[in-house]
């Protein structure tokens, strides 16, 4: 009896929230990339990149999502020791994912046809994944630096992952292919709404990480779109894609 009571106590409302968010993020990514990656053999007609770099990046992205769920669950079951040990795997992913993500974005932008399923000129659209890479690296690195500040650490890990789900929502079956960044980032940022609601319910006010991190993500969408057509960005994008040519 006492064992069962302790087990239930470990799964506090906070632990249920973060584990539930991690699972929801994984499912969002799975649905978005099911046809082009996770269940690729079942959808031979689905549009998917042919370069190997994207499948390596996809495996790392999937590993990150699985790790997020595992790390939240380990805290929930009272195993912070395993959580800390797995943290080393997270650091490896934090270092490697931005490198492969940026490389893959440059490869896609260098193609004559550009990004698959995107009608925007590739040099202009390149700004979207570049901002995603920068924001992910920033949030994830800060999460590692703030690992002893548990409340900041949890939120930064969530923000790093939410930032990457825009690409997944862009590929959801019911989302029009030409809907544009405002639509699929709006869907991704519903996770920010959930985090804000949790802050108000659990703390009575927004945590500083939720405030500045959420604002950075929200502001990044119009900023990247405004930047995408400028001569400065196009010249930089042309030079960068030449590195993979």
Residue 31 has phi, psi (to 5 degrees) of: -65, -45
**Given this model, what pLDDT does residue 11 score?**
67
State which H helix or E strand residue 160 sits in.
Answer: helix 150-169
pLDDT digits (tens, 9 = 90+) for 141-194: 999 999 999 999 999 999 999 999 999 998 898 887 677 788 889 999 999 999
151-to-103, 206, 244 alpha-carbon distances in Å: 32, 12, 40
Element (H, E) at 67: helix 52-76
Q: How far apart are CA 60 and CA 92, in angstroms?
A: 10
Give me the phi and psi of 199, to 5 degrees please: -60, -45
Dist. CA 71–CA 78, nearest whole Å: 11
Burial class (CB in 10 A: 0-12, 13-18, 19+), 234: middle
Is the full-model pTM beyond 0.85? yes
SS3 label, residue 170: coil
Coil, strand or helix: which one is 224?
helix
How many residues comprise the chain?
Answer: 245
Q: How far is CA 106 from the centre of its chain?
A: 18
The residue behind tokens 């492969």 is 100
pLDDT per residue rounded down to tens, the chain (245 residues) = 334 444 444 568 998 999 999 999 999 999 999 999 999 999 988 888 889 999 999 999 999 999 999 998 888 788 888 888 888 889 999 999 999 999 999 999 999 889 988 889 999 999 999 999 999 999 999 999 999 999 999 999 999 999 999 999 988 988 876 777 888 899 999 999 999 999 999 999 999 999 999 999 999 999 999 999 999 999 999 999 999 97
Query: How far apart are the C-alpha atoms of 150 and 204, rounded to whole Å?
Result: 18
């Amino acid at each position: 009896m006492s064992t069962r009571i302790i087990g239930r106590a470990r799964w506090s409302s906070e632990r249920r929230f973060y584990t539930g968010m991690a699972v929801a993020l994984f499912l969002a990514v799975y649905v978005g990339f099911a046809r082009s990656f996770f269940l690729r053999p079942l959808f031979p007609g689905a549009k998917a990149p042919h370069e190997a770099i994207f499948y390596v990046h996809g495996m790392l992205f999937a590993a990150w999502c699985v790790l997020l769920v595992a790390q939240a669950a380990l805290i929930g079951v009272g195993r912070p020791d395993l959580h800390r040990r797995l943290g080393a795997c997270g650091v490896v992913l934090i270092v490697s994912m931005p490198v492969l993500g940026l490389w893959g974005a440059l490869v896609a932008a260098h193609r004559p046809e550009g990004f698959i399923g995107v009608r925007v000129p590739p040099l202009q659209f390149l700004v979207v994944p570049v901002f995603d890479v920068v924001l992910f690296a920033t949030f994830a690195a800060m999460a590692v630096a703030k690992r002893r500040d548990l409340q900041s650490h949890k939120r930064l890990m969530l923000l790093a992952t939410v930032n990457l789900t825009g690409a997944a929502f862009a590929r959801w079956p019911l989302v029009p292919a030409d809907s544009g960044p405002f639509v699929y980032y709006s869907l991704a940022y519903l996770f920010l709404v959930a985090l804000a609601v949790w802050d108000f319910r659990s703390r009575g006010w927004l945590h500083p990480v939720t405030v500045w991190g959420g604002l950075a993500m929200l502001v990044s969408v119009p900023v990247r779109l405004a930047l995408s057509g400028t001569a400065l960005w196009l010249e930089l994008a042309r030079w960068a894609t030449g590195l993979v040519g």
